[in-house]
Structure 1
């Protein structure tokens, strides 16, 4: 992996870590969705790597519960895969919605019941509305930002850098 690519990944992780922790609604991290959708254009491996490292950093630095991982990881994987097959930001948004809003929220329930020692079945109704809400809010923001970014020469160059290696490594 080139130094240029590592630098870009590091900047993406730093931006995602800070902005996802600062710009948030209690119980929701719509900025994490924004980054997953936009970074899905770099490729499934890279968006997943960025989401995982960001989630781990958020857990340790900002004392975020394991929801940081369950919320971001499934969405990142599906956003990357859906973007790969559709080449559409809306495809990435759909993947993020299903991955984070549905799968991530369902997987979060038993994990949080374990960590918080909760016995209540009401926990099932706690995460899905928040995760779905975050993916809708974050998705709208991501589409608006991407509609401007896709015309940027720098962003196109970054996408080409990541796309070039993924096509030559096959």
Structure 2
């Protein structure tokens, strides 16, 4: 992918992830579900790879926190899920691999990494499995959105980069 196209697509995904998270979210237990973030993670992991996907997730998290529409919990779930989505897609070369990576990375690993962040930095005391259900709901719904969008992206000029 040419550098200009790559950077433009990354910026577009950051914008979609940031704006989409302010419009499409729903309460899910002790946290909020932001499925657009997870859809962006899968799309970025598939089309751009794990490094770019992590950078996009981090940037969305920073912008959402600056704007007051996100929490510190956006970082562990988003970044770990984005990395595993890109990594598993790179290894398996199947979209479902990216979906599994996002669900495991965000829904399981990210939820457990969020516990000390919530306790130490946010002053919230939560149980060991408090974040698992909402993170799983959020990531599964985002993966479903991504699985609907990725075949459509194949039909665009970006589809040339879909391997």
TM-score (norm 2): 0.88
**Unaligned 5+ residue runs, structure 2?**
none
Aligned to 1:3: 4
How far the C-alpha of 1:35 sits from its partner, in A, is 0.8
Aligned to 1:56: 62
Is 2:132 the partner of 1:128?
A: yes
Q: Give the Cα–Cα distance (whole angstroms) in 2 for the partners of residues 63 and 24 of structure 1.
A: 11
Is 2:89 the partner of 1:77?
A: no
Q: Give the Cα–Cα distance (whole angstroms) in 1 for the partners of residues 131 and 144 of structure 2.
A: 20
Aligned to 2:33: 28
Please tell me the root mean square deviation across aligned C-alpha atoms, in Å: 1.7
Q: How many residues align?
A: 157
Specify which of 73, 97, 102 is matched with residue 103 of structure 2: 97
Moved over 3 A (4+): none
Q: Give the Cα–Cα distance (whole angstroms) in 2 for the partners of residues 38 and 3 of structure 1.
A: 18
Q: Give the Cα–Cα distance (whole angstroms) in 2 for the partners of residues 62 and 154 of structure 1.
A: 35
SS state at 1:126 partner: coil
Aligned to 1:144: 148
Q: Which has the higher helix share?
A: 1
Is 2:28 the partner of 1:40?
A: no
Aligned to 1:168: none
